[in-house]
Amino acid sequence: MSTFTYPEFTAKQAITANDGYRCPSCGNRLNPENAGKTYRCLNNHSFDRAKEGYLNLLLAQHKRSRNPGDSDEMIRSRQRFLNRGYYDNLALHISQQLSSMAINSRFLDIGCGEGFYLQAISAVRDDLQLVGVDISKTAVRLAAKRPFNAQLAVDSSFNLALFDNSIDMAMAIFSPFSPAEASRVIKPKGYLMLVGPGKQHLSGLTAHIYDQPVPHQGNHKFIDNSDEFRLLNEMDILQTIDVEGSAIADLLHMTPYYWHAKPAQQQYLRTLERLTTDIHFNIRLYQNCVDSLP
Ligand SMILES: [Zn+2]
């Protein structure tokens, strides 16, 4: 299975005044101080930069739990699984689409997880400023350790610490998001790419867990009844893969199916040497219809 060749590591991109973060408390600009180790607004709300280079901009009131987002085990399972190349075709498709899009400044990954897809994009669009947010600190910390340049923050996709009309294009891969909030930060006529599960996604895995096939709901359900975005095009990627050895347990752990699998089913899946399954992605490209420029 093919894997990506990634560019050499260089220092994290500097956060400048025009493309920075807005304070999640009061909406004013967060300015770097102390050599970028702290970001502070004029109302003295301050946020420290982690040693890995990301900012934690998640306010206590936007956390629904002490450690919000996917569990650490889910995130680490997903990273191991993705790093073995099973979803490389999806990353390749997204990168190819990005390589031909007429965007020239900032690209946002909403729910960037541990940065797999952002890193793939960085390999083809090193001219873009990449921005990644995720509500899980573990995920953002892992993304920050990947060898690519991006502004990364622990942040809520329902209350983005980004300015209005500051993003050329955003994407959300299997991630929940707010259409109103995405529309606010994306420039007028800017783009939003959504990736969700197609009908046959992981059918070889779910066949071991459910008696009947379970229909998937993509994250476009958030947008289907909204006025903010217009669907430009849609396509599916369908492929059959053989998942081998410990990657089978990782695949189970990285999905919600883990919570639905009975202990005996989990045990059985762990004993398999190979699991053949379809992977099926639905990719939709939207355009922001809301002209929110003053
Ligand atoms: Zn503030």
For residue 153, give the CATH number of its domain. 3.40.50.150
Q: Which pLDDT score is estimated for 111?
A: 96
Predicted pLDDT of residue 68? 72
- C-alpha 44 to ligand 1 mean position (Å): 6
Spatial neighbors of 46 by CB under 8 A, at least 6 apart, are 38, 39, 40
Is residue 58 one of the residues assigned to a domain? yes
Could you give the percent of the chain with pLDDT greater than 70? 90
pLDDT band at 62; cut points 50, 70, 90? low
120 and 215 both lie in a single domain: yes
* Residue 110, in any domain of the structure: yes
Which pLDDT score, from 0 to 100, does residue 63 have? 67
Burial class, 2, CB count within 10 angstroms (exposed 0-12 / middle 13-18 / buried 19+): exposed
Q: Are residues 241 and 188 in the same domain?
A: yes
Does residue 113 share a domain with residue 34?
no
Model confidence at 260, pLDDT cuts 50, 70, 90, reads confident
- Asked whether residue 170 is domain-assigned, the answer is yes
Copy the structure tokens of residue 120.
Answer: 């793939």
Q: Which distant-in-sequence residues (6+ apart) come within 8 Å of 154 by Cβ?
A: 54, 55, 56, 57, 58, 133, 134, 135, 136, 137, 140
Do residue 37 and residue 148 come from a single domain? no
**pLDDT range class, residue 11, cuts 50, 70, 90:** very low
Task: Answer whether residue 13 is part of any domain.
Answer: no
Q: Give the Å distance between the CA of 47 and the centre of ligand 1.
A: 10
C-beta of residue 128 within 8 angstroms of C-beta of residue 153: no
Cα angle for residues 134, 200, 132 (degrees, 5° grid): 15
The secondary structure of the chain as a DSSP string is: ---PPPPPP-PPPP--GGG--B-TTT-PBPEEETTTTEEE-TT--EEEBPTTS-EE---GGG-SSSS-SS-HHHHHHHHHHHHTTTTHHHHHHHHHHHHTS---SEEEEET-TTSHHHHHHHHH-TTSEEEEEES-HHHHHHHHHSSS--EEEE-BTTB-SS-TT-EEEEEEES----HHHHHHHEEEEEEEEEEEE-TTTTHHHHTTT-SSPPPP--GGGGTTT-SSEEEEEEEEEEEEEEEETHHHHHHHHTSTHHHHS-HHHHHHHHH-SEEEEEEEEEEEEEEE------
How many angstroms is it from 57 CA to the middle of ligand 1? 11
What is the distance in A from the centroid of ligand 1 to the CA of 24? Answer: 7
Quick check: is 14 in a domain?
no
Task: Clarify whether residues 42 and 88 are in a common domain.
Answer: no
Choose among 187, 188, 185, 172: nearest CA to 223: 172
Both 41 and 126 in one domain: the answer is no
> How confident is the model at residue 112, as a pLDDT?
97
Best CA proximity match to 191, nearest among 214, 223, 216, 159: 223
Residue 218 pLDDT: 73
pLDDT 10s digits, 127-153: 999 999 999 999 999 999 999 999 999
Segment 53-71 shows an average pLDDT of 79
Kindly state whether residues 223 and 257 are assigned to the same domain: yes
Q: Is residue 214 part of a domain?
A: yes
Domain count, the chain: 2
| Ligand 1 geometric centre to CA of 38 (Å) | 13
Ligand 1 centre from 7 Cα, in Å? 36
Q: Is residue 166 located within the same domain as residue 37?
A: no
**Whole-structure pTM over 0.85, yes or no?**
yes
For 81-126, write each residue's pLDDT tens digit. Answer: 999 999 999 999 999 999 988 888 999 999 999 999 999 999 999 9
Q: Is residue 201 part of a domain?
A: yes
Specify whether 57 is located in the same domain as 35.
no
Spacing, Cα 70 to ligand 1 middle (Å): 28
151 and 42 assigned to the same domain = no
* Separation of CA 288 and ligand 1 centre (Å): 28
Q: Tell whether 43 and 61 lie within a shared domain.
A: no
Whether pLDDT at 13 is above 60: no
Tell me if 218 sits within 8 A of 196, measured CB to CB.
yes
Q: What is the pLDDT of residue 49?
A: 93
Range of the structural domain that residue 223 is part of: 53-288
Provide φ and ψ at 280, rounded to 5°: -145, 115
Amino acid 10: pLDDT: 32
State whether 154 and 244 are in the same domain: yes
Report yes or no on 134 lying in a domain.
yes
